Amino acid sequence: MSDHGHAPDKSLSHTLGLAFGALGVVYGDIGTSPLYAIKECFHGMHAIAVTPDNVLGVLSLIFWSLTMVITIKYVLFITAADNRGEGGIFALIELLPKDRGHRHVRVTLAVLGLVGAGLLYGDGVITPAISVLSAVEGLNVATSAAEPLVVPITCVILFCLFMVQRRGTAGIGRVFGPVMLVWFTVLAVLGIKEILAAPQVLAAINPWHAVDFFLRNHLHGMVVLGAVVLCITGGEALYADLGHFGRRPIQISWLVIVFPCLILNYFGQGAGLLLDPSIAPNPFYSLVPDALLYPMAALATAATVIASQALISGVFSLTRQAIQLGCCPRLRIVHTSSAMEGQIYIPEVNFALMWACIGITLAFEESSRLAAAYGIAVTATMGITSILYFFVAHWTWKQPLLRCVPPVLVFLAFDLAYFGSNLLKVADGGWFTLLIAAGIFMAMATWQDGRRALREMSLAATVPLRTFLQEVATKNPIRVPGTAVFMSLSPQGTPVTLLHHYKHNKVFHKSVVILSITAADTPTVPEDDRLDIHDLGSGFFRIVARYGFMETPNVPEIMARARETGIPIDPPADTTYFLGRESLLTTGKARMAGFRKSLFALMSRNARPATAYFGLPPGRVVELGVQVEL
């Protein structure tokens, strides 16, 4: 358990600078929730009557949701579970102990983690769509003539947002903080103006109003809770972005700026409803003076674009972690900044997200209808995070049960209540999120199981390296100038590509390197611990390179670093890389269902070639065909 994220804070100004930056990246999602959260409670698909008791009840639920779930659970507890500074559901999984005594439980928790990752992808599709759509809908308040333009304008903004991803977020990121500071300031000012006109709204801080809300409304109250949950949808993003800013800056920006401003605006919307129930169709924009409606719509759109950008970047980061941890096929990863390792762009993921976002915008057309699909993914992921946190606290940190059980039970009580209320939304659109999550989970689990089956088959068919080297020493084959690098999935045994090469060519290069790249259970690996080099004799070497799940391997860099250690490796112009190209047949005896074997074969055929993923020079690569029966 640690309190570091980015690096130990060197000064107060450094910490405050990170806290300011966190406004634009960490809190974009949760910061734009006032656009639609209150609206969905009193004007959504399952709206409740605008009465003083209901207004105070909903506000009390929002206040205590933000306090218990975001402030206490995430800001104070969950952010302590960092994996060398990194947060997010994969980092939480990697914190679990690896010993055999916990193996079966760990496998179950890892499966839960994959489910959570799939749900986060579902969230990644809906958040940009609902955020931008709800902001553009402010034009309807200014003029009814804008109604036919809302969906087209939203689609254009989404299209432009995804098209600029290839340029990186470094330049755009510089304006995130200032824009979001203006946004939160405006939220607070608008809220204070209405609260002064109806100060009785502050009574909602009393939790009894939340209890009374359920006593009066029964099942309908639970349905409305599914709309209230929209105010906390940025909790997982807060934890996932831990590595970019660190725990303390995130805590400062939340407690000093974000939390107070959100509460003031929510209470301001409640005060407006108490004064005039007819503003329920759009209580947020009803707080804005008529003369400022267009500028406010522009500011809200900018804020929602920033919120979407943060979540898109988070999906890129999540995908790279999944690739490194063996849960996803290789994809093209473009580094958009030479200074920041975390700023990446993945074209395949970007375009899939873009068309999904535009598609659901065209299908649902209104933010109220889209809100029906929103929330179920977030609440399920929150529950999974609470469960994983308990095992990390008890197993990894060795906390006694009396210390870690009570807070986790409180967290789960909130998580399960929110999840239960959102299950009522499944028929209204929640099925869409669950469908995305199920598809992503199936793909990830299939890829993981398929690669594991290939490794096991490779190990079973391989020749012990010592036996192979003894045969080489006995036959003393011809050695040609240069260096040959044989890529191997497993750091054990003799690579199949090496065996095939020797079988057909009967020669070896002067230096032969068997290279395996393994994923560490940490975000990054120190350069001093990167390579494990073994001299096997007779010009043979085994190199095992370790990369963290937030890093992308680069083979030429590995070879250059190995050369610096003194082993006789030729320059790049005299180095040849040998890779195996697998032709998968689904007629084998691997313990996978037939349709999963076919899915794995399809994913394998469409995975990015190892040549591009590992940064190999195309003109120096030789591929040897290997037929494998799964």
Q: What is the pLDDT of residue 166?
A: 79
Q: What is the pLDDT of residue 168?
A: 66
Q: Report which listed range, 49-63, 228-242, 561-575, is most confident.
A: 49-63
User: What's the longest Cα–Cα distance across the chain?
Assistant: 94
Average pLDDT taken over every residue of the chain: 86
- Of 175-189, 371-385, 522-536, which range is least confident? 371-385
> What is the average per-residue pLDDT within 85-89?
81
Neighbours of 101 (CB within 10 A): 9
> What is the average per-residue pLDDT within 311-333?
84
Residue 4: pLDDT band by 50, 70, 90 thresholds? very low
Q: What is the pLDDT of residue 169?
A: 58
> What is the average per-residue pLDDT within 58-63?
97
Residue 406: pLDDT band by 50, 70, 90 thresholds? very high
Asked whether residue 341 carries a pLDDT value surpassing 60, the answer given is no
pTM assigned to the model: 0.81
Q: What is the pLDDT of residue 313?
A: 79
Asked whether residue 95 carries a pLDDT value surpassing 80, the answer given is yes
Q: What is the pLDDT of residue 9?
A: 41
The more confident residue out of 91 and 398 is 398
Asked whether residue 7 carries a pLDDT value surpassing 50, the answer given is no
Asked whether residue 521 carries a pLDDT value surpassing 80, the answer given is no
> What is the average per-residue pLDDT within 146-154?
87
Reported as type and span, the H/E element at residue 51 is none
Reported as type and span, the H/E element at residue 609 is none
Residue 3: pLDDT band by 50, 70, 90 thresholds? very low
Q: What is the CATH number of domain 20-449?
A: 1.20.1740
Taking CA atoms, 25 is separated from 70, 121, 541, 579, 606, in Å, by 16, 18, 45, 40, 32
What is the distance of C-alpha 581 from the center of its chain?
31
Q: What is the pLDDT of residue 251?
A: 93
| 619 class by beta-carbon count within 10 Å (0-12 exposed, 13-18 middle, 19+ buried) | exposed
Asked whether residue 441 carries a pLDDT value surpassing 60, the answer given is yes
> What is the average per-residue pLDDT within 210-226?
93
Asked whether residue 339 carries a pLDDT value surpassing 60, the answer given is no
What is the distance of C-alpha 174 from the center of its chain?
22
CB of 157 closer than 8 Å to CB of 135: no
Per-residue pLDDT tens digits for 458-471: 777 778 888 888 88
Q: How is the chain split into domains, by residue range?
A: 20-449, 463-629
Asked whether residue 386 carries a pLDDT value surpassing 70, the answer given is yes
CB of 230 closer than 8 Å to CB of 40: yes
How far apart are the two ends of the chain, measured CA to CA in Å? Answer: 42
Task: Please give the Cα distance from 379 to 556 (Å, whole number).
Answer: 43
Per-residue pLDDT tens digits for 572-610: 889 999 988 777 777 767 778 888 888 888 888 888 888
Residue 540: pLDDT band by 50, 70, 90 thresholds? very high
Residues in Cβ contact with 488 at an 8 Å cutoff, skipping those fewer than 6 apart: 495, 497, 498, 514, 515, 516
